[in-house]
Amino acid sequence: MSTTTVTTTEESAGGPRRTPPPAAPDPIAQDRLPAPRSAPRELLFSLLRPHRVRVALAAIVLLAQQAAVQGTPLLVAYAIDRGVPAVRDNDNYGPLIAVAVAYLLCAVGGGALQHIFIRMAARISQRVLLDLRGRIYRHAQALSLDFHDRYTSGRLISRATTDVQSLRELLDEGLQEMLMVLVSVVYIGALLFYLDLGLGGAALLSFIPLLFLVQNYRRRSAERFSRRSTAIAKVIVKFSETLNGIRPVKAFRRESVNDAGFAVLNRQHERVNGDTILEMARFVLLSRMIAATGVAAIVMWGAYRVASGGMELGALAAGALYIRRLYDPIDRFAMILNNYQSASASLEKIAGLLHQRPDVPEPASPRTPAQRPAGQPGREVVFEGVRFAYRTGGEVLPTFELTLPAGQTTALVGTTGAGKSTLAKLLARFYDPTEGRVLLDGTDLRDLTLAELRRGVVMVTQEAFLFSGTVAENIAIGKPDADREEIERAAKAIGAHDFITALPDGYDTDVRKRGGRISAGQRQLVAFARVLLADPSVVILDEATSSLDIPGEKAVQDAMETVLRGRTAVVIAHRLSTVEIADRVLVMEGGRVVEDGKPADLIAGTGRFADLHRAWRDSLA
Ligand SMILES: Nc1ncnc2c1ncn2[C@@H]1O[C@H](COP(=O)(O)OP(=O)(O)OP(=O)(O)O)[C@@H](O)[C@H]1O
């Protein structure tokens, strides 16, 4: 058995409800998810592992392509040092023709291999990113409510969009180029040494200041990238918070305050972005100056050696070509490095997210509660020595003992913040108790598989949430394999059939397209039909706070009674008519039950519930 969340108030109403500000700085809320340093590397390996054959083939193609491309200056050297003397001295055109043919083959072969390499790399990157985005989505759904309370949906969206996009830019452009540059540097270095030891040594020496510059740029730009990614995340979070809370934004005319707040974040982002570009421009300028000085010095030194007979002319010509090729990518290096920095910051954040484990894990050795005799309603629920504190707050339930007999409806009432929703969420196992156990027919909820728990315990929250899809699909969430007949039967039993058939496409009406025209009450009826179809033994109902005991609500009230009948039910009650149908009322205060009894008995008494009941009655009079 298990808990299916049929609807979620939090999602639809924009952010967690009644969540107090964090008591202490919370690393998760601040976007710094704790994860080992090796997590990004391990994530990358795990993403590439399924494509290792393709990666190996791509590497071979790249080596071959660079061999073809980097071979051409050698041919030039051969043409000058061997081809030209052969023509001049022996009228022999053979070596020059051989050079021309080899040059053509290298150029065409290099181009073709480059094309193959880019296609292979693009294929790998597409699959890796597809897999990564899927993993983020699955993981976000699997993480517990405790995580979602603290890590905003805006941040999650930012992981799956901006961060994946920055990885795409690296994989599709930067990484390919970076690999080509790295392989070419190795080839060129080796060829320069082959051509002339002095030339190779000089090129190597001239690289030293460049390495210092790159190192310095890397350090400075890493810091700017981290600031830039935080700045863009803030922009996204602000956007998503505003849109999630668009109703209260309009109701309280927060538009201009929000505009001002957004403008600050927007400017901050642009400023950091500007800094990053300036840093890059500085790097390009300095690297060009170093490269130009290096090329000029080596060529002049080479010319001196040719003149003094220490080196052949062809070797100098080929060496000059190689040195140009060596420095050529330097201009693009800043861009590639930027790509790399931004992608590695993104990879770190994604790895941090994927490293989080659900606080409500599956049991290592699941148990199945004993089958109940047919026809026996509900299951018994026991809170045994339960204590609970949210991670970011003080204790909400101090040692709590409660037995809910099978088949009974218990109404929870009490002041706001008394702990009613917390109790309901513990029963739905959205959270685990800090101490003690919640038992379902004697089995600890933690020993049930989540699938079984979600089948047996269903929670319906305040605002019935409709997913995109048709009305029928929305009802079928309660039982995905239900046929149309079962769906209609549930809707009829709930009293939703008439309004559904009055919709233009009846059960096939797309709720997203008509979202605004399905009223809150009708949405509740759909949610109740889901529950009826799911047929759980335990139902938890968070009644809409705005519910009133008025005739228009009668349909919802009747539907609720149908859903509760024959199940163990816990209702966070806001209606007089609801508490009146309950078998038992619990009045909560400060995480404790302060009154417990049959509604009629409590009403007849002089306690808090009697007062509350009188106040409700008066408000309806
Ligand atoms: N996600 C959370 N993180 C930290 N504290 C929380 C969280 N949710 C609720 N609380 C705190 O726990 C206490 C009990 O909250 P709970 O929502 O259970 O009360 P409630 O009785 O359902 O109130 P209401 O009638 O207003 O819905 C409150 O002090 C609340 O601020």
The per-residue pLDDT for range 388-422, each reduced to its tens digit, is 988 777 888 888 889 999 889 999 998 888 889 99
Q: Ligand 1 pocket, 591 CB below 6 A?
A: no
Residue 16 has pLDDT above 60, yes or no: no
Please work out whether the CB of residue 461 comes within 6 Å of at least one atom of ligand 1: no
Which of 18, 383, 592 to probe ligand 1 with, by most ligand atoms within 8 A of CB? 18
CA of 28 to the centre of ligand 1 (A): 20
Beta bridge partners of 412: 572, 586
pLDDT > 90? residue 298: no
547 Cα to the center of ligand 1, angstroms = 20
CA 574: distance to chain centroid? 36
Give distance in angstroms: CA of 421 to centre of ligand 1.
Answer: 7
Cβ proximity of 429 and 358 under 8 Å = no
Bigger pLDDT: 57 vs 226: 57
Numbers of helices and strands, H then E, in the chain: 24, 11
Ligand 1: residue whose CA is nearest its atom 24: 416
Q: Which of 86, 325, 297 is nearest to 199 (CA)?
A: 297
Q: Is the CB of 543 under 6 A from ligand 1?
A: no
Burial label for 141, CB within 10 Å (0-12, 13-18, 19+), is exposed
Residue 245 Cα, ligand 1 centroid: separation in angstroms? 19
Nearest to 494 by CA among 470, 471, 539, 525: 525
How many whole angstroms separate alpha carbon 577 and alpha carbon 552?
Answer: 13
Strands 457-460, 538-542: pairing is: parallel
Instruction: Find out whether the beta carbon of 420 lies less than 6 Å from any atom of ligand 1.
Output: yes
Label residue 9 by pLDDT band (50, 70, 90): very low
Over residues 304-312, the mean pLDDT reads 89
Output the pLDDT for position 363: 82
Return the closest-CA partner of residue 8 out of 581, 604, 518, 540: 540
Cα distances (angstroms) measured from residue 175 to each of 111, 324, 333, 336, 584: 18, 22, 11, 8, 66
The continuous run of DSSP H or E covering 47 comes out as: helix 39-48
Q: Is the CB of 495 under 6 A from ligand 1?
A: no
For ligand 1, whether the C-beta of 462 sits within 6 Å is no
| Among 148, 386, 397, 421, residue to substitute to test ligand 1 (most atoms within 8 Å of Cβ) | 421
Residue 575 has pLDDT above 80, yes or no: no
What is the C-alpha to C-alpha distance for residues 384 and 358, in angstroms, rounded to an integer?
A: 23
Between these two residues, 354 and 326, which has the higher pLDDT value? 354
Q: Is 418 a pocket residue for ligand 1 (Cβ < 6 Å)?
A: yes
Domains of the chain: 36-355 (1.20.1560.10), 381-620 (3.40.50.300)
Ligand 1 center–CA 422 separation, angstroms: 6
- Please indicate whether residue 445 or residue 207 has the higher confidence score (pLDDT): 445
pLDDT in tens, 488-543: 999 999 888 988 898 888 889 888 765 556 777 888 888 899 999 888 889 998 87
What is the per-residue pLDDT for 1?
41
Residue 156 in contact with ligand 1 by CB distance below 6 A: no
The atom of ligand 1 lying closest to the CA of 149 is: 1
Residue 511 has a pLDDT of: 81
Q: What pLDDT sits at residue 5?
A: 39
CA of 105 to the centre of ligand 1 (A): 74
Say yes or no to pLDDT of 14 above 70: no
Residue 61 reports pLDDT greater than 80:
yes
Residue 228 has pLDDT above 60, yes or no: yes
pLDDT at 266 over 90: yes
The reported pLDDT for the residue numbered 605 is 80
8: pLDDT strictly greater than 90? no
Prediction ipTM score: 0.97
Q: Would you state the pLDDT for residue 395?
A: 86
Which residue's CA lies nearest to atom 12 of ligand 1? 396
Q: How many Å apart are CA 300 and CA 306, to the nearest integer?
A: 10
Question: DSSP character for 72?
Answer: H
CB of residue 542 inside a 6 A radius of ligand 1: no
- Ligand 1 mean position to 424 CA, how many Å? 11
Tens digits of per-residue pLDDT, 589-607? 888 888 888 888 888 888 8
Tell whether the model's pLDDT for residue 32 goes beyond 90: no
* Residue in 396, 461, 462 to alter for ligand 1 test, most ligand atoms within 8 A of Cβ: 396
Run of H or E including 334: helix 330-355
Token pair belonging to 101? 């043919």
Tell whether ligand 1 has an atom less than 6 A from the beta carbon of residue 16: yes
Atom of ligand 1 nearest to the CA of 412: 21
Give the tens place of pLDDT for each residue, 129-174: 999 999 999 999 888 888 888 787 878 888 888 889 888 888 877 7
Atom of ligand 1 nearest to the CA of 22: 4
Q: What is the pLDDT of residue 263?
A: 95
**Which residue's structure tokens are 């985005």?**
133
pLDDT digits 0-9 by tens, 314-343: 888 888 888 888 887 776 777 787 788 788
State the pLDDT at residue 30. 54
Q: Atom 6 of ligand 1 has which residue's CA nearest to it?
A: 19
**What pLDDT is attached to residue 372?**
63
Give one DSSP letter per residue of 426-449, joined into a string.
HHTTSS--SEEEEEETTEEGGGS-
C-alpha span between 280 and 217 (Å, rounded):
8
Of 162, 161, 173, whose CA–CA distance to 125 is shortest? 173
Ligand 1 centroid, distance to 423 Cα (angstroms): 10
Q: How far is CA 382 from CA 129, 357, 460, 571, 594, in A?
A: 46, 27, 20, 16, 18
- Integer Rg of the chain from CA: 35
Band (227; pLDDT cuts 50, 70, 90): confident
Section 574-578 average pLDDT: 78
Lookup result for tokens 């982002």: 269
pLDDT digits (tens, 9 = 90+) for 38-52: 888 899 899 999 999
On the question of pLDDT at 90 being above 90, the answer is no
Cα(565) to centroid(ligand 1), Å = 28
